[in-house]
Structure 1
Amino acid sequence: AATRYWDNISDPDYRRLAKRLGQKMMERYAKNPAVIAVGYDNEIGNGQVSYSAADRERFVAWLQKKYGTIEALNKAWATQRWSRRINSWDQVDLPYIRGPGPNERYLDLRRYWSDDTIGALKDLEAVRKQYAPNLPVASNFWPTAWTKGFDYLRSWDEVSTYGAQGFYPGDALGAGFEVMMNRAAHETPVWFNEFTAGGGGFYGDPGRSRMWAYFGLLYYGQTFLAWTFNSHIGGEEQALFGLVDHDGRPSWKVDEFGRIASEFQTLKTLGFPRDRQPQVAVNYSFDTMWLTSPPPGPNTMQEYFKGNYTEQVKAAYQPLFEDNIDAAVIDFGHDRLDKYKLIVLSSAYVMDAPTAAAVRKYVADGGTVVMTGYSAKVDETGKWFETPLPGRLADVFGLRTNAFYRHWEPLKVRFDGETLTGADTYYEVLELGAAKPLATFENTPEKSAAVSINRFGKGQAIYLATAAQPGLIGPLLRSLYPKLGIERGPETPKGVVARVVDGRTMYVNTNNAPATVTFSGSKSGVLTHQTYAGKIDLKPYGVELLQ
């Protein structure tokens, strides 16, 4: 017997029957007052790929539509390498998703299954629009799943009304980053269709779910659905502990969720759910994620691109998170950029035409962009640019960068009168044209520019000549806040997250240890009804709304 997720959503009969099921359900329940939203295919993205003959034919048809001719396919797949030339469509095989294989066809395989998943979701969205246009869509997607996944950030506006997810946080930084990625460029709240009540092999800690619920409020949350309500009897998830124990007795978690509901009833009159436009946008590319994490096998790309792409994007997001600044996580090649005061591209290895065009226009129109090393090295086929690097953007940044090295010790950078120490030894040697140096490497042989700035059009393009790392990109981003009018959030100790909402300040202590927050004057607590003079001592997992 198979485990879950073994449906083949590319099969035409599956798609036909799924649409028919959706139609029948909507015909019956669309006007039922108990139905408030629609969700499509729980955790879609975590399915398995199929290697059937029919799926190979569908893959070939996808390639034909994308490239048109065999010659165009051969060029995109670099088949001149190692005698891989394809002479007819009959010679195209369905690559193995776990490899090994060349970068170019692996990337197209990922895109094919992504488009197939998005197509299945669009089928269901068409049914909803026809039979239940009154209901929003909030689906528990899993776009980052490695079994298949799909490019949510280039499709969110076609398949969802609200950003939604299963929320099982580890650290606060990762939780905030993931929520903002699922929110994408939505201007609607976030729904937590599965919200941590316990966990796999984890009964729960008193106060922890309440703390994460308040954390979710600060990250645009509106709906918190405990997973799971009843602890399961049998199956793979019976050791995932919910609100009600296996013997049917309510645990202490029922009371905790009751408290959350009661407090939120008050908070919904005080500016929640939050509705504020993020000031900054951070780029995330599914193409780069897939390409920089190839299947096992010989591949010099991994010898060049060290580390994990997602972690490098999170490193650029981290200073904004620590400064309690709202920052969107979006795909720059898909969403509007003109509403952001600052945009950041971290290790944007793949630089496709839409992303390059969007960044170029944003800067020319007066925007400020920060881009890091490892960026704009390959085009949308996964091949290294044959033009000056950064590909498609060398003139925007006013430089070229070819040579790179890995230093024998952590990089030291002289910036704004201080010496900063990094955590990554990779650096690029910038050949400055129109760009001017903002910082220099102190301990490399070349002592070349570590940060450069170039005026392009009405805006400015800043290049950090190494990977994003908080010790370097943090001071750089913070130096831009005053000039760009970026409002820093409340100052908090590590692990305490805060936002100002309708003149009140909410503090959430994500630490399992006490934390003290200082402020000026005297304030009263909306939740505790206590008065605080100059400081508040938050208990482990403690929260408060001060006014």
Structure 2
Amino acid sequence: MLYGACYYPEHRDPERWEEDLHLMRQAGLNALRIGEFSWKRMEPAEGAFDFAWLDRFVQLAGNYSIGLVLCPPMRTIPAWLAEKDSNLMIVNEEGVSLEYASRYTFCINHPLLREKSARLAAVMAARYGNSPHVIGWHLDNEIGDEPDCHCPGCKSQWQQWLKAKYGTIRALNHAWGTVFWSLEFDHFGQIPTPRITKADYNPAFLQSWREYRSDCNIEAVRLLAEAVRSQLGDNDQYITTNNQMFWSKRTDYYKMAEHLDIAGTNYYPPYGDRHRVLSFGLAASRSFKKAPFHVYELRNEGHAILGAADNTPAPGELERLTMHTIANGADGVFYFPWKRFPFGSEQNHGALTDFDGKPTRMYAECRRIGERLKTLAPFIAGSQVESDIAVLYDFPSRWHMEHRSAWTGDNGVYERQINMLFLTVRKLGYNCDAVGRTGDFTAYKLLLIPMLPIVDDDLVAKLQHYAEAGGTLVFHPMSGIKNSDACYFPDRLHPNMIRLLGSRTAETATSGPHSPVGFEWEGRQYVGGVFQELVKLETALAMGSFTEQWYKGYPAVTRQWTGKGQTWFIATYAEEAFYTDFITKLCREIGISPILSTSPPEGIEIAMRQQQDGTRYVFVLNGTAETVQMSLPERMTDLWNQEEVQDSFTLKPYQVRVLIE
């Protein structure tokens, strides 16, 4: 278990380093992430490397038994490099060249940036690859968190990328349907990047562009990873980076993870009652490599931002937040940052120590967590989150649904729906995974699909085989409707999706945010909305019907038996109350039990990590400011608080318990 912080020795008088390291060890910290913004200090002038300051800090950290995760920087370049070529700057969609003096304003495809950053990474790895005090390599920071670049270099590379994908311009014209609006291309050199224009771009054009930009980010990770690995030999230093949580859709993190040893993320959820709204990001992070992950930036103290809501942690909330990440699969937690910044853009960011380096209120809580983690870590080492339920997280589908277009409409539906399904499962007391289209569906008994507009033959066949082998699928509107180029199938659905669902979509209907649509299921009334698919049954059974509008009586919930399994279709985006009842009944039918055999009280999170020998660690987290009573099916030991827990116990506000049978 890594317990650490993000530290910036280049900000600090070297004579104060030991003061900071001493406080870190007192708090139980055993790791630091450093270096992602220090290119200028490592290479003050081109080719003139200076690691004397870093050598000293590496040794000092080692003296305090604190391992370092070094970050070869790439996208915050020194002024001397920016001065060499003005074309290093990103050209945004409006055709404006971004200015220096901020971060992430540089084109990651520029040959000079790639050359210099890869060289620096290799030089760092050659110097510290055998250091006993360096435990890992964190590639740059939040790769993909910059505007799309439309510079001449990116335009040329984009055209080459398209040629490699489609082969001929005729094939591209056919795949994209460029005959629409008479936009057929004669050669790849005519294809622009999607800068500001009058009307909407072709969805196929935008789908390829998003895939291309994702590949650019993945290529940057591959470049840095190979530069580091080329110098490491057989040592056990790992390679990672920090994905930008769930809000970023710019990179297919499943593909990026192929170049990493450990997946990493940042995590900045709100405090207060909404503290779990981003928790799907943790499930996604452990899904990228189907393994425990690291949180490389975890919020701690509140930010000094005027009017910021859900921003300031009450006593105990940092402990609850930290253990929330560990309960959901994190094997490493790094607070950002260790010390408040008296200067720079992020000077109002909360921290564990103040501007002068003295401990804040949150430091005391951090220290208490560190003391308890020393006892807990040996127990949970090697354990993972095991789930019978997963939500399908599909980047191509998300890219398509979140295009900015009047023809897309509400482009927040994908994110809301995936969160709705995930949080409903978790509130009911079950573990829940994320899984990508290339993941192992057979690891789960129940697969929830928020929407899946982009499919190909292989994916539909994979879903078919999953159901035939005994799995349960739950589909929603806009699933299986388009090919990989975002063009509709002639029958509104992929041909094999019709067979999988046992129905055809005859028509669609939409409804605004203030016009919910009623439907019934199991004799109870619910509401849905946004988008309804009006289906014609073939072999499926109607299990519920719409009760309003002119399509009253049309199936709202259908069920199709497929081999040993089953496929459900919810023909609208339903309210949470429906999913609570529906998932509860479905889990009971297919033999999935809540972690503690019952749903937890409101505001209580229950998660479970499990060893290969079957040993289970149950995390019970009070996310409320109230004292809550709970019951257990049996007597258990609370490893976190070092006490026995009877069949009934109390959770104080924000209290954490880690139970073992």
Rounded Cα–Cα distance in structure 1 between residues aligned with 2:531 and 2:288:
32
The Cα of 1:377 is off from its aligned counterpart by 2.2
Rounded Cα–Cα distance in structure 1 between residues aligned with 2:193 and 2:521:
50
1:200 alignment counterpart = 303
2:649 alignment counterpart = 536
1:476 alignment counterpart = 582
Task: Judge conservation of contact 2:388–2:431 (CA < 8 Å) in 1.
Answer: yes
Task: Judge conservation of contact 2:162–2:188 (CA < 8 Å) in 1.
Answer: no
Matched residue type, 1:225: F
- In the alignment, does 2:104 pair up with 1:28? no
1:404 alignment counterpart = 508
Rounded Cα–Cα distance in structure 2 between residues aligned with 1:269 and 1:317:
30
Matched residue type, 1:285: D
Rounded Cα–Cα distance in structure 2 between residues aligned with 1:144 and 1:527:
29
Rounded Cα–Cα distance in structure 1 between residues aligned with 2:228 and 2:391:
32
The Cα of 1:187 is off from its aligned counterpart by 3.7
Report sequence identity in percent.
22
Give the 3 Å change call, closer, same or farther, for CA 257–367 of structure 1 in structure 2: same
For residue 324 of structure 2, the aligned residue among 208, 215, 230 is 215
1:150 alignment counterpart = 251
Task: Judge conservation of contact 2:528–2:573 (CA < 8 Å) in 1.
Answer: no
For residue 389 of structure 1, the aligned residue among 493, 496, 520 is 493
- Taking the TM superposition and a 5 Å limit, the aligned residue runs for 1:33-48 are 33-48=132-147
Task: Judge conservation of contact 2:245–2:267 (CA < 8 Å) in 1.
Answer: no
Rounded Cα–Cα distance in structure 2 between residues aligned with 1:218 and 1:97:
44
Task: Judge conservation of contact 1:388–1:394 (CA < 8 Å) in 2.
Answer: no
Task: Judge conservation of contact 1:323–1:489 (CA < 8 Å) in 2.
Answer: no
1:115 counterpart SS class: helix
The Cα of 1:223 is off from its aligned counterpart by 1.2
1:461 alignment counterpart = 567
1:393 counterpart SS class: helix
- In the alignment, does 2:232 pair up with 1:114? no
For residue 520 of structure 2, the aligned residue among 374, 395, 414 is 414
1:384 counterpart SS class: coil
1:329 alignment counterpart = 434
Task: Judge conservation of contact 1:377–1:391 (CA < 8 Å) in 2.
Answer: no
- In the alignment, does 2:181 pair up with 1:181? no
Give the 3 Å change call, closer, same or farther, for CA 291–504 of structure 1 in structure 2: closer
The Cα of 1:514 is off from its aligned counterpart by 3.1
Rounded Cα–Cα distance in structure 2 between residues aligned with 1:306 and 1:294:
7
Rounded Cα–Cα distance in structure 2 between residues aligned with 1:376 and 1:55:
32
Rounded Cα–Cα distance in structure 1 between residues aligned with 2:362 and 2:563:
57
Matched residue type, 2:429: N
When structure 1 is superposed on structure 2, of 19-28 and 53-62 the one drifting more is 19-28
The count of residues paired between Structure 1 and Structure 2 equals 539
Matched residue type, 2:338: F
How does the TM-score come out when normalised to structure 2?
Answer: 0.76
Rounded Cα–Cα distance in structure 1 between residues aligned with 2:616 and 2:285:
27
Give the 3 Å change call, closer, same or farther, for CA 214–144 of structure 1 in structure 2: closer
Give the 3 Å change call, closer, same or farther, for CA 484–500 of structure 1 in structure 2: same
2:240 counterpart SS class: coil
The C-alpha deviation readout for 1:132-176, integer Å capped at 9, x for no partner, is 252222311227666x821113432x1222221111112343332
Rounded Cα–Cα distance in structure 1 between residues aligned with 2:494 and 2:172:
25
The Cα of 1:484 is off from its aligned counterpart by 2.6
Task: Judge conservation of contact 2:327–2:608 (CA < 8 Å) in 1.
Answer: no
Matched residue type, 1:21: L
The C-alpha deviation readout for 1:318-358, integer Å capped at 9, x for no partner, is 221112322221222x1121111111111222223443232
1:136 alignment counterpart = 238
Structure 2: 5+ residue runs without aligned partners?
1-99, 305-310, 610-614
Larger Rg: 2
- Taking the TM superposition and a 5 Å limit, the aligned residue runs for 1:129-528 are 129-132=229-232, 134-142=236-244, 149-156=250-257, 158-170=258-270, 171-201=274-304, 204-272=313-381, 274-295=383-404, 299-302=406-409, 307-332=412-437, 334-389=438-493, 392-406=496-510, 410-416=516-522, 418-424=523-529, 426-444=531-549, 445-490=551-596, 491-500=599-608, 502-503=615-616, 505-520=618-633, 525-528=638-641
Give the 3 Å change call, closer, same or farther, for CA 523–89 of structure 1 in structure 2: closer
The Cα of 1:13 is off from its aligned counterpart by 2.4
- Taking the TM superposition and a 5 Å limit, the aligned residue runs for 1:85-100 are 85-96=184-195, 100=200
Rounded Cα–Cα distance in structure 1 between residues aligned with 2:563 and 2:617:
40
Task: Judge conservation of contact 1:138–1:160 (CA < 8 Å) in 2.
Answer: yes
Task: Judge conservation of contact 1:263–1:527 (CA < 8 Å) in 2.
Answer: yes
Give the 3 Å change call, closer, same or farther, for CA 521–377 of structure 1 in structure 2: closer
Rounded Cα–Cα distance in structure 2 between residues aligned with 1:227 and 1:256:
15
Q: Aligned Cα RMSD in Å?
A: 2.5
Structure 1: 5+ residue runs without aligned partners?
none
The Cα of 1:185 is off from its aligned counterpart by 4.4
